[in-house]
């Protein structure tokens, strides 16, 4: 809205500044023209007075005086009706009549004034001039008084420049009021309009946020609002539909591929198992065969059994990757409801769950944190995330019979949220690996048997729970894996 008013103001300024210059010009021209017309009228009237500069007799002199007085009166009337100051000079440049109340300048010579000299030379002059006498800018018009072919005097009309400036200022003032009204109106209209647009945009924004949060059903209202908003909504909906289709397609592909891979994997496993069992049987019954052949045979049979067992382990790993992909594609498609958890209780339970294994490995594991920490997450997410972190911590920790290598599951408040961290004193990871560890199929060098999907699933569970996960290097060595859950409202 402010922008709209700003634009209106800018447009008005851009238009009005040159306009005021133009107005000044027009006003000046208009004044000059009317002054010229008035000057000619006065010149016509002053012809008789100026014709006879030297009175032939007393009657004539008296007539002349009365004529001059009448002319003076006319000049004053003219001045009083809003006209200009009038000075009429004879051919010698001597002032004969003025409109001034003070008649003291009558008889003064005006020949030094360039416009008077010009007019006595037969020219019409007009322009601005600074008057040394009056110490103001003057706008003047001077016309010659002509009788036949002869210049017999001149009429000069002057206006203080200020009058022009005032007239222009008045007009500009009117323009300003109009401009101001326009700006205020633009503001009001803009406010009403933008409020409506903003409301529609807010709704569209809400739909966008819902989509971004993974609600693939989020759609915008295509039927109301300004045409631009409606068309934006249509575009948004097209995008959302396409996105939904693509995600569904990708998920379905992952699921189908996993299912399809299960069948040949079954055949592979059965074959490997069958081969191994055949060899095991022949090794077991080898005692009845030829002694020398059995000797070499049993060594190679044993090695073959070993290799087949290794191949079976790899088939298992392949199976675990397939299951991981299926798990991921499922958790992506399902919008599981967010429920309430006491994450402190879950963390304590998990520590208890892992205690015996940690003990077997010669490691300690303990819980640090409050009695209760209420958060929201999707079902089983806190448990699975903590298990994954502890699993990784157990894999990298080494027993030194000291207390320093204990694994700590720590729950602590993080602002309005609760942060669950699993801390170990293993070799840790580089910052680069910490950032990449949540990527699919990323595997630590030490994790030769993993499927590379554990942390990717953790990240997915966290996303679905509106939680954030992080890996950080611990000062003093080791890793801190953490998940921050939104506190239960």
Site string for another protein, 394-423 (x = CB under 8 A): xx----------------------------
DSSP code, position 287:
G
For position 454 contacting another protein by CB under 8 A, the verdict is yes
Residue of 277, 314, 368, 439 that binds another protein (CB under 8 A) = 277
For position 260 contacting another protein by CB under 8 A, the verdict is yes
Q: Where are the alpha helices (DSSP H) in 334-479?
A: 343-360, 381-396, 431-436, 454-464
Torsion-angle region of 250 (φ positive above 0: left; ψ -120 to 50: alpha; else: beta) = alpha
Cβ distance to another protein smaller for residue 316 or 439: 316
Stretch that binds another protein, among 48-56, 223-231, 237-245, 446-454 (CB under 8 A): 446-454
Residues ≥6 apart with Cβ < 8 Å to 421 = 408, 409, 410, 411, 412, 480, 481, 482, 483
Cβ distance to another protein smaller for residue 146 or 278: 278
Query: How far, in Å, CA of 136 to CA of 119, rounded?
Result: 22
Edge to edge, what strands does the sheet with 479-485 contain?
A: 365-368, 407-414, 417-423, 479-485, 468-473
For position 88 contacting another protein by CB under 8 A, the verdict is no
Sort 356 into a burial class: Cβ within 10 Å, 0-12 / 13-18 / 19+: exposed
- Is residue 130 within 8 A of residue 138, CB to CB? The reply is yes
Stretch that binds another protein, among 148-156, 239-247, 354-362, 399-407 (CB under 8 A): 354-362
Cβ distance to another protein smaller for residue 46 or 384: 384
Cβ distance to another protein smaller for residue 312 or 472: 312
Shortest spacing between CB 293 and another protein, in angstroms: 23
Residues ≥6 apart with Cβ < 8 Å to 110 = 87, 89, 93, 94, 95, 116, 156
Query: How far, in Å, CA of 133 to CA of 154, rounded?
Result: 19
**Closest Cα partner for 421 from 480, 366, 471, 463?**
480
For position 270 contacting another protein by CB under 8 A, the verdict is yes
Cβ distance to another protein smaller for residue 36 or 391: 391
Stretch that binds another protein, among 99-107, 222-230, 258-266, 435-443 (CB under 8 A): 258-266
Shortest spacing between CB 256 and another protein, in angstroms: 10
Cβ distance to another protein smaller for residue 140 or 354: 354
Torsion-angle region of 82 (φ positive above 0: left; ψ -120 to 50: alpha; else: beta) = left
Match 């006498």 to its residue by tokens. Answer: 133
Shortest spacing between CB 271 and another protein, in angstroms: 5
Cβ distance to another protein smaller for residue 124 or 275: 275
- Is residue 359 within 8 A of residue 397, CB to CB? The reply is no
Stretch that binds another protein, among 160-168, 217-225, 257-265, 417-425 (CB under 8 A): 257-265
Site string for another protein, 290-329 (x = CB under 8 A): -------------------x--xx-xx--xx--xx-xx--
Cβ distance to another protein smaller for residue 23 or 365: 365
Cβ distance to another protein smaller for residue 51 or 447: 447
Residues ≥6 apart with Cβ < 8 Å to 301 = 279, 282, 283, 286
For position 343 contacting another protein by CB under 8 A, the verdict is no
Shortest spacing between CB 269 and another protein, in angstroms: 5
- Is residue 347 within 8 A of residue 377, CB to CB? The reply is no
Shortest spacing between CB 399 and another protein, in angstroms: 14
- Is residue 159 within 8 A of residue 31, CB to CB? The reply is yes
Stretch that binds another protein, among 91-99, 172-180, 274-282, 473-481 (CB under 8 A): 274-282
- Is residue 420 within 8 A of residue 343, CB to CB? The reply is yes
Shortest spacing between CB 369 and another protein, in angstroms: 21
Residues ≥6 apart with Cβ < 8 Å to 92 = 109, 111
Query: How far, in Å, CA of 401 to CA of 154, rounded?
Result: 125
Planar angle of CA 186, 191, 195, nearest 5 degrees: 150
For position 252 contacting another protein by CB under 8 A, the verdict is no
Binding residues with another protein: total (CB under 8 A):
44
Report the DSSP beta bridge partners of residue 487.
375
Cβ distance to another protein smaller for residue 360 or 445: 360
Shortest spacing between CB 443 and another protein, in angstroms: 12
Residue of 1, 94, 257, 278 that binds another protein (CB under 8 A) = 278
For position 262 contacting another protein by CB under 8 A, the verdict is yes
Residue of 170, 259, 334, 340 that binds another protein (CB under 8 A) = 259
Stretch that binds another protein, among 29-37, 85-93, 245-253, 352-360 (CB under 8 A): 352-360
Rg (CA), the chain: 52
Query: Which H or E run includes 8?
Result: helix 2-51
Query: Which H or E run includes 374?
Result: strand 374-378
Give me the residues that bind another protein (CB under 8 A), please: 259-260, 262-271, 273-274, 277-278, 281, 309, 312-313, 315-316, 319-320, 323-324, 326-327, 353-354, 356-357, 359-360, 384, 387-388, 390-391, 394-395, 449-450, 454
């Amino acid at each position: 809205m402010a922008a709209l008013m700003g634009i209106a103001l800018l447009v008005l300024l851009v238009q009005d500044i040159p306009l005021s210059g133009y107005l000044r010009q027009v006003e000046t021209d208009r004044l000059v023209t009317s002054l010229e017309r008035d000057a000619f009228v006065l010149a016509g009237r002053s012809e008789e007075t100026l014709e006879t500069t030297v009175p032939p007799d007393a009657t004539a002199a008296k007539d002349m005086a009365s004529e001059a007085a009448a002319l003076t009166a006319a000049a004053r009337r003219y001045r009083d009706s809003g006209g200009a100051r009038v000075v009429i000079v004879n051919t010698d440049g001597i002032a004969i009549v003025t409109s001034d109340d003070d008649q003291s300048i009558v008889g003064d010579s005006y020949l030094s004034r360039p416009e008077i000299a010009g007019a006595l030379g037969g020219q019409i002059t007009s322009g601005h001039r600074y008057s040394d006498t009056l110490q103001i800018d003057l706008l003047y018009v001077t016309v010659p008084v002509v009788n036949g072919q002869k210049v017999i005097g001149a009429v000069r009309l002057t206006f203080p420049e200020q009058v022009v400036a005032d007239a222009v200022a008045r007009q500009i003032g009117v323009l300003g009021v109009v401009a101001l009204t326009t700006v205020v109106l633009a503001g009001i209209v803009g406010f009403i309009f933008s409020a409506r647009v903003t409301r529609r945009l807010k709704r569209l924004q809400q739909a966008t946020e819902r989509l971004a949060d993974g609600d693939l059903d989020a759609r915008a209202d295509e039927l109301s609002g300004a045409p631009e908003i409606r068309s934006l909504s249509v575009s948004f909906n097209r995008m959302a539909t396409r996105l939904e289709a693509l995600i569904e397609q990708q998920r379905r592909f992952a699921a189908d591929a996993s299912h399809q891979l299960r069948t040949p994997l079954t055949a592979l496993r059965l074959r490997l198992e069958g081969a191994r069992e055949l060899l095991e049987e022949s090794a077991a019954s080898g005692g009845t065969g030829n002694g020398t052949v059995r000797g070499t045979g049993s060594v190679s049979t044993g090695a073959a059994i070993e290799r087949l067992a290794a191949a079976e382990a790899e088939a298992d790993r392949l199976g675990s990757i397939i299951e991981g992909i299926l798990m991921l594609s499922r958790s992506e498609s399902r919008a599981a409801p967010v429920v309430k958890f006491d994450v402190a209780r879950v963390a304590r339970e998990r520590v208890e769950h892992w205690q015996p294994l940690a003990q077997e490995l010669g490691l300690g594991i303990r819980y640090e944190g409050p009695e209760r920490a209420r958060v929201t997450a999707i079902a089983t997410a806190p448990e699975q995330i903590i298990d994954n972190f502890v699993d990784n911590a157990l894999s990298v920790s080494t027993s030194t019979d000291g207390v320093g290598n204990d694994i700590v599951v720590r729950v602590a408040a993080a602002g309005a949220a609760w942060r669950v961290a699993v801390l170990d004193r293993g070799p840790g990871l580089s910052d680069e690996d910490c950032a990449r560890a949540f990527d699919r199929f990323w595997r630590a060098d030490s994790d030769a048997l993993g499927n590379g999907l554990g942390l990717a699933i953790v990240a997915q569970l966290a996303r679905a729970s509106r939680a954030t996960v992080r890996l950080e290097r611990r000062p003093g060595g080791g890793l801190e894996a953490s998940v921050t859950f939104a506190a239960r409202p």
